[in-house]
Amino acid sequence: MNPLLVGLLVFIGVAALVGGVAVLFSKPQTSRLEDRLDILTGVASPSNTSNLLKDNSVLARPLDDAPNMLAQLFKKVGNFDLLFKQADTMLTVGKLAVVSVILGLAGCAVAVAMKSPVAVVPLAAFAAGSLPMFWLLWRRKKRLKTFSTQLPDALEMMARALRAGQSLAFGFSAVASEMSAPIGKEFGRVFEEQNLGVAMDDSLRAMCERIPNLDLRFFVTAVVLQRQTGGDLSEILDKIGELVRDRFRILGQVQALTGEGRLSGVVLMALPLLLFMVVYHLNSEYVSLLFTDPAGKKMLAVAIFMQIVGAVVIKKIVDIKV
């Protein structure tokens, strides 16, 4: 069978499977709007939604409430809208699928043009088709990291505004106008929602969903508690900002101490693949035994498994939580 046809069929099947799972687990965007309209029109009573808001309150959830790896995987697969919001992109599921299919076909065509083995063609199509998702996750990670570095300055600005006698809403507005994205955009959204009549607890909880950051949850919890019990919020914000700065300082020291290990991991993971590509370019018949001979297939499978195990072990060694 034509390798191009095989790669095309495999990629279409994988794309259809991913799209079906996404549609199955996705939640309609208009669900919250319909719930509010039902309350306004009298179809649903507000008492039915009070328990839900209470269960989803910021204070009802622990500060370090983080889903495990499996829950995060299903959440990313099922809730693409939240992933797009966290990455701050205008992409949709349809656009992402179209770009993935186009890149997958391009990767399949390149593999066929290079006369690669049949087993490499679907792998090349899958790798090329996965590039948009990897870019989306990279953009999300970069945005969340930028938000973390901006948070101490934002907390200090809000503390100064409170000490000057301004309101908490003015503090959100000051951060939105004086600081750049992403924290300026997120705090500005909270300020705009306040002007539109959204409850403070709901607005802050929505921001925590868009920005899964532990330090932000400390800030949100402090704001909600201060609104319920009172207290000097400016002093609390100063303490949280100081805590975040100390954490970044310790994290920088850890990154410096583990730099050699992380570089060794990158070299050890990239070296086998680069050597395979070089040897395949110099003597393709020698490398083709890994795909044609039964013993070669077993050796290739064991090598890939050991590479994955090595990557996980190295990541566990150098990834120190602060």
| 73-90 tens-digit pLDDT | 445 455 777 888 888 888
Read off the pLDDT of each residue in 150-161 and give the average, rounded to a whole number.
93
CA atoms of 317 and 309, how far apart (whole Å): 12
pLDDT at 194 > cutoff 90:
no
CB of 144 within 8 A of CB of 212?
A: yes
C-alpha–C-alpha distance, residues 209 and 65, integer Å: 12
pLDDT cut 90: percent of the chain above it: 20
Q: Provide the H-helix boundaries in the chain.
A: 3-25, 31-41, 46-55, 69-78, 80-87, 93-113, 120-129, 131-163, 168-178, 183-195, 200-210, 214-229, 233-257, 259-282, 284-292, 294-318
Q: What is the mean pLDDT of residues 165-187?
A: 92
Among residues 208, 190, 186, the alpha carbon closest in space to that of 199 is found at: 190
Write out the DSSP string of 201-259.
HHHHHHHHHHS--HHHHHHHHHHHHHHHH---HHHHHHHHHHHHHHHHHHHHHHHHHTH
As a whole number of angstroms, the distance between CA 100 and CA 120 comes to 18
Q: Tell me what pLDDT residue 27 has.
A: 46
Tell me the per-residue pLDDT of 291-311, one tens digit each, with 9 for 90 and over: 888 888 899 889 889 988 988
pTM of full prediction above 0.75: no
Q: Are 58 and 221 in contact (CB under 8 A)?
A: yes
Token couple for 249: 């300082």
Confidence of residue 29 (pLDDT cuts 50, 70, 90): very low
